Amino acid sequence: MQDIRQTELWGRYLQYQGWKVEMIGGGLGKIQVLVRKLEPLPLALMKTQRFAEGIDLEELDKVRRANRVVYSILEPMEATDRLKKQMAQYGYRQSSSPYLPSKTLIIDLDQPLEVLKGNLSSNARRILGQKKTGVVIRKAELESFYKEWQRWAKTWIMKKEQLVWLVNNGGNQVNMWVSCQNNQMLSGLLTIESRDCLNYFQTWTNDKGRKLGAHYHLVWDSIVKAKEKGLKYYDFEGIYDDRFPIKKWLGFSSFKRRFGGYEKMLPGCYVRWGF
């Protein structure tokens, strides 16, 4: 499964924000490494996130030294005993706080649609079975989506100019969808695609939308669309993890679990200070 942080789009998005993209060897191909200068100092920080396997740490170390990197971040998809040993040899130690979600929920879209429906919780099936709500799903306009996102989001949201860049440069990989009733927006979902996965990237729901269960309709619609498009996975982009507890994540994690799927533990973050 390719994470969005290893897509060309994500690299260009961070280049737009001032990062430099380096490519190094990996077991399944090239791995994207991001470097940012710490102006006005002649130093930099470096992050390599959600790479699948086989990273060449010797080549990565050359990038680190060439850019005078003083702080390095590694967040692999998997951390075998061999990789842990190699990271330790290059001075990386487990951090007490990951930068990306350390646990997520994945739906295998290769399953038949009837199976995916059967994996929904009884509550989710009941809400989706309510035909008289008048909830419809449509693509969103950027201005109205962002305005509602600002108003109803419970967590961090990106700057408007960042969203504009993603939408203008993401092509079919980036989409904004909303659930509506009588042309009133109820919830919104920003998704980003990788080679084989749809990422549930950012979302919001207003008070009326919660009462109607509108976001259930929006999320299920996005799952169906991803499957129809031929994608293999649906990544809910993070759920609550006991290892790194953030209590405010409990509510939306419970919601996400109602769509089935399997929980994927990620190894967290490994960091290195100094040259």
Nearest CA-CA partner of 180 in 135, 128, 147? 135
- At 200, the amino acid letter reads Y
- Residue 23 bridge partners (DSSP): 32
Whether 229 has a pLDDT exceeding 90, the answer reads yes
Tell me if residue 102 falls in helix, strand or coil: coil
Assess whether pLDDT exceeds 90 at residue 259: yes
What mean pLDDT do residues 151-156 have? 88
Q: Which two tokens stand for residue 109?
A: 């879209």
For the residues 14-19, what does the mean pLDDT come to?
97
Residues 6+ apart with CB under 8 A from 147: none
Does residue 96 carry a pLDDT above 70? yes
| pLDDT exceeds 90 at position 263 | yes
- Average of per-residue pLDDT across 206-233: 97
Place of tokens 């990996």: 26
Q: What is the mean pLDDT of residues 229-239?
A: 98
Answer yes or no: is pLDDT of 3 > 80.
yes
Q: What is the dihedral of CA 223, 226, 231, 232, to 10 degrees?
A: 10
| Banded model confidence at residue 275, pLDDT cuts 50, 70, 90 | confident
Report the mean per-residue pLDDT for the chain: 96
Which residues, including other chains, have CB under 8 Å from residue 261's CB and lie 6 or more apart? 105, 106, 107, 108, 119, 234, 236
What separation in angstroms does the CA of 158 have from each of 96, 139, 146, 203?
25, 19, 10, 11
* pLDDT at res. 54: 86
pLDDT band at residue 101 using 50, 70 and 90 as cut-offs: very high
Distance separating alpha carbons of residues 158 and 10, to the nearest angstrom? 14
Domains, the chain, in order of start with CATH, read: 4-99+267-273 (3.40.630), 111-231 (3.40.630.30)
- CA dist 234 and 213 (Å) reads 20
Query: Helix or strand or coil: residue 112?
Result: coil
